[in-house]
Amino acid sequence: MILEVKCYATLVKYQPEQKDLLLGPQPTLRDLIGFLGIPEAELKLRFVNGVHVGLDHELHEGDRVGLFPAVGGG
Amino acid sequence: MDRQVLAGRYRRNFSTLSAQDQERLFFCRISLVGLGGLGGPLLEMLARMGFGRKGCGWIRVADGDMFEASNLNRQLFCLESNLGLPKTQEAVKRIQAVNSEVNLQVHKNFLQPEELPAFIHGADIVLDALGDLPTKLALRRAAAQAGLPVITAAIGGWVGFISTLLASDRGDTLLRIMDTGVDGAELRLGVLAPTAWFVAALQCRETVALACGKRPLFHGRMHIVDLTDATWEKVLLEEEEACAHQPAVNA
């Protein structure tokens, strides 16, 4: 499935190199996070096409996915 | 003060600001917590814009910290010559030098959660320039309880975000998302001057919008700016509320 994934800040190390990801049929956001190996505790905000969604959100071809950790510096 | 300075000070604010807008800034009452990477440039921008003029409004700031060498990389008021000195004291000196018309009130200690209601009492707008998540979240709670708008921002490395919570909001999704007791990314990535000053500028912009009764720019969404690749994402935060009512979500 072709996805546009962006991992922010400390999650950059999980950024996939390719857009075409082998996720199986009808993948959810949880499947993607598992595929990328991101521990759920490290992930605070996850958004698809600019909307904050739950982990069971179903992904579709071409979705833009953003994965964001806790950030609190000043 | 020199009459020419007085006459010229706000000339270049016009006509992007109307005379009425400028007057609203004069009369605005602001409680700003934190005088570090975000709070320093934010306070200076507020002063230059004309917020909290003496005899009209005020700017109240709180920070119990002293400047140290690790602040030199980004904190506007931090100088080699004032290391070890209180941030509030140095802020007063700087703002007095920049705009002596500002009615600046300082709280020289770290605010305890129980002190937050008194600190924000009477304000029109609460500004969150704190550098740690637990206190940021406590401030958002206090502002919500007081029925005051709060403009929150945070940074870590090249990434920053800003989001405005209004008194009319029913919930605080941002608070729920971030309130998990995990260390923020800034502890690993540090905090940089360009990110801090850029995001502080957004906070000042939003403060002008709220003070002038204009539509807020960063309400209901979390704006994430990434200076690694110059991307800007506007994330709608409310959708999760709807999803939460569906079975199997967040199970």
Interface predicted TM-score (ipTM): 0.94
Q: Hey, is the C-beta of A70 within 8 angstroms of any chain B C-beta?
A: yes
In this complex, the residue of B37, B235, B251 whose CB is nearest that of residue A45 is B235
Distance CA B10, CA B20 (A): 13
Do residue B184 and residue A70 have CB atoms under 8 angstroms apart? yes
Owner of token pair 């500004």: B127
Record: contact B239-A52, CB cut-off 8 A: yes
Residues in Cβ contact with B7 at an 8 Å cutoff, skipping those fewer than 6 apart: none
Residues in B closer than 8 angstroms to A50, CB to CB, are 233-236
Contact: A9, B243; criterion CB under 8 Å = no
pLDDT at residue B32, rounded to an integer? 98
A73 touches chain B (CB under 8 A): yes
Residues of A in contact with B159 (CB under 8 A): 8-9, 71
For tokens 């909290």, the residue is B52
Q: Does A14 touch chain B (CB under 8 A)?
A: no
Q: Residue ranges of the domains in chain A?
A: 4-69
Residue of A7 and B243 predicted with greater confidence: A7
CATH code reported for the domain at A4-69: 3.10.20.30
- The secondary structure of residue B102, as a DSSP letter, is B
Q: At what angle do helices B39-49 and B87-98 cross, to 10 degrees?
A: 30
Cis upstream peptide for B15 (omega within 30°)? yes
Residue of B175, B186, B188, B198 best to disrupt the A interface, most CBs of A under 10 A: B186
State the pLDDT at residue B7. 75
Chain A with chain B: Cβ pairs closer than 8 A: 118
CA dihedral (A31, A34, A38, A43) positive or negative:
positive
Q: Chain A residue closest to B249 (CA)?
A: A56
Sign of CA dihedral A43, A72, B156, B84: negative
Element (H, E) at B245: none
Cβ–Cβ gap B224/A73 under 8 Å: no
User: How far is Cα B191 from Cα B8, in angstroms, rounded to an integer?
Assistant: 36
Angle B217-B135-B121 (CA atoms, 0-180°, nearest 5)?
70
Amino acid, res. B249: V
Q: Rounded to an integer, what distance in angstroms lies between the CA atom of residue B41 and that of residue A24?
A: 49
DSSP B144-176: HHHT--EEEEEEEBTEEEEEEE-TT-S--HHHH
Residue A16 has pLDDT above 90, yes or no: yes
According to the model, what pLDDT value does residue B170 have? 81
What is the full DSSP assignment across A19-51?
SB----SS-BHHHHHHHHT--GGG--EEEETTE
CB B189 to CB A10 under 8 A? yes
Of B188, B246, B251, the CB nearest to A10: B188
Alpha helices in chain B (DSSP H): 3-8, 19-27, 39-49, 87-98, 116-120, 133-146, 173-178, 186-189, 193-211, 239-244
Token pair belonging to A62:
């071409």
Collapsing DSSP states into helix, strand and coil, what is residue B251? Answer: coil
Mutate to test the interface with B, among A40, A52, A63 (most CBs of B within 10 A): A52
Q: What is the dihedral of CA B86, B92, B94, B95, to 10 degrees?
A: 150
DSSP at B219? B
Q: Closest partner residue to B240 among A6, A41, A54, by Cβ?
A: A54
* DSSP for residue A65: E
- What percentage of residues in chain A have a pLDDT greater than 70? 100
Q: How far, in Å, CA of B98 to CA of B59, rounded?
A: 14
Longest Cα–Cα distance in chain A: 42
Cα of B2 to nearest chain A Cα, Å = 36
| Segment-wise mean pLDDT, segments of 10 residues, chain B, 251 residues | 77 94 98 98 98 98 98 98 98 98 97 96 98 89 96 96 92 80 86 98 98 96 97 84 40 31
**Among A67, A47, A73, which residue's Cα sits nearest to residue B184?**
A73
Distance from CA of A1 to the nearest CA of B (A): 22
| Burial degree of A16 (CB within 10 A; 0-12, 13-18, 19+) | middle
